[in-house]
Structure formats: C-alpha cells, structure tokens
Structure 1
Amino acid sequence: MKFSFQIFQFDCEHKILTRHGKVIKLKDRAANMLKFFILNNDRILSKAELLETVWPDKTVSEQVVFQNISHLRAIFGNDAIKTFSKRGYQWQLELTEVTEQAEEVVAVPEPQAPASEESKTEIESSNNESSDKAQKNDAPTSDSTPEQPVKDSKSTTWLGILGAAALVVATAIWMAVKS
C-alpha cells in the first residue's frame, strides 16, 4: 500500500519514503514506526505497543520511541505525530491512499482526537520534544544513512515566533499582576 501526505509518499510494503519523487533514506526502525503509524492512523498507539511492534525481539528502553518520534517529526514537522499524555501517540497528517492499478487516489479519513486532551497534549508534546533531544544517545543503530530533515516552512517558523512572543507577553502580564 502506498500513501500520500503533504509532499511525501510512503510505500508501506517496501518502506520507501519519497519527497517530491526523490527517495529519502529512513533507518529501518524509523520506517517500521512510520508504517505502523500510517496503518493505524485512526487510533492512539501506546509506547508499549510501539516497542512490541517496532522492536519485537529486542529489549530496549522507551527512550528509543521518543528518539524515533523526534526523528520523524524532524522530517514531517512537529504536527505530524501528536502526543497524548499517558496514553501514547497518533499520526495527524491527512493520508491519501494511492492505488497502483488506475493511479486512483482514495482519501483516508483524518484521525479524530478527543477534544478534552488537546490542551494537555500540546503542553506534553512540547515537553516530550525537549526530552527527545536530550535522549538521542540511546538511538537504535542502523546501516542506512540518515536523511536530511525537511526545514520548517516560513509560516510554521512565524507561528513559532508569534507563539514565543505571546508566551513572553503573558508571562510579563502575569508577573505584573502577581506583584
């Protein structure tokens, strides 16, 4: 099965990722994780489930899950995989299944997230991303060459800057009111 999302296409059977038709090499475990996320995009996947599926015959720490999710977020953007506090992770990008026979494109429904968890999830996601970067020493090894991450678009960069500025202003107001 092949799926298309954003500027990417992923062949689940051969675990080949392309961006604008150019192949992006993925480490084997990252490709397995991406496949598992895509094929189960309609539900939240726990860390234990990811460990059992991606590392079935190995005993590894949960940190490898964080590291590989961080790696995939570096490629597809931070919004690609959403963190649900104490529950797991879910693929968030809209998928389109590409059929071989007629090159027909069939839309796959976007995952629905519980509304009550969204605000906690955004905070948890930010915390996990910070801890993901600190935990890269426990990354699984692979013979394949890592790909170059996709740079964030200008709009995503500006949203980050505006968000940081809003946080600074809110903190200043809070400190002024507190005094």
Structure 2
Amino acid sequence: MVNINPTNQVPLQTAERYWRSSTSGLLAYDLICPERASRNIGDFCILMPGQEQILLTKEVIILRAGDRAYFDQFYLLWAMTLKIVRTQWNRIVFMQTNREDVGKRYLEIELPLAPNQARANEVSEIFRRYFTTLASERERLRNYLDTSKAHHFFISGAEQIPDIDEEIEQMLTP
C-alpha cells in the first residue's frame, strides 16, 4: 500500500480505540481488497512491512494464509491474480450490493493448490522476490533519510513514531 499523504493519518489513540487493542492485528504482506465504496473494488494490494499499523474501514477484506497452509502470502497473491480465479472473485465482489452480502462467500472461490510447499514457493517466487526486494529497498531508503536529514521525503508507514512521554519528560527535566 502506498499513501504519501501524511494528512491522512489519525492519532494513535483514535486508531487504538477502533482496533480495541494497541495494535491493528495486521501483518506484513496481508492482502487487502476493497469490497465496496472504491473504484478499486476487487483489486488486491499487499501490505508492506512497516505499514501494519493502519486503520481500515469495514469496506475491505483482508486475506491471509492460515497457520495450517503450506503456502504463504505470495502464493496467495499469485493465485488470486490468476485470470481464472479473478473471474470467480469478480462474481463474488461485484455481484454484492453491500458488505454483508460478501460475508463468507469468498470461501466459494476455488484456488489452484500446488501439490506441496516447494512447488507453491516455486510458482510464486517472482511475487516473493519483487515484494521482499521492494521492502528491503524501502527500508534502506528510510535509513538513508533518517541519517541524511537533507531531504524532505515522506515514506508512509515507515516513519518512526516518537515516544511522546519520553519527549515530554526531557522537556520538563531541568
């Protein structure tokens, strides 16, 4: 996900109230797809490392490989972007008039399953390499920007959240 506009952020306390927790529960490489109220309905994006602490609306569906799956998020993305799967996905997403109608209907989608983990990793390697390389280069850029201080460039979700309590304590200490 890319959002270069820092004005779209909400205070952490507000996010925690909606999450009902101190974290969002999202994981790096989760697949996110708008179900309604977006021109991108049915299109998947992948949550990059460092972007997990976001607040989402109820109009999205989040897909994650389960604990017992022998495939990972990259295989799941590979499978969900196949045209034969996409046709099924469009039938589920576009034929619904509201979010509740999608419900568990996404479970009706038939994914091609690789015979084993090795084959799943093999066919999805191009997705894995692309997104993990992007993540490592993003981190490298963030580290450069943190040390350089000569640039005004915002990388959404990669910025460090300051410890406000520590900052206030430093201001109050004589």
Query: TM range, normalised to the smaller chain?
Result: under 0.3
TM-score normalised by L of structure 1: 0.27
**Greater C-alpha Rg:** 2
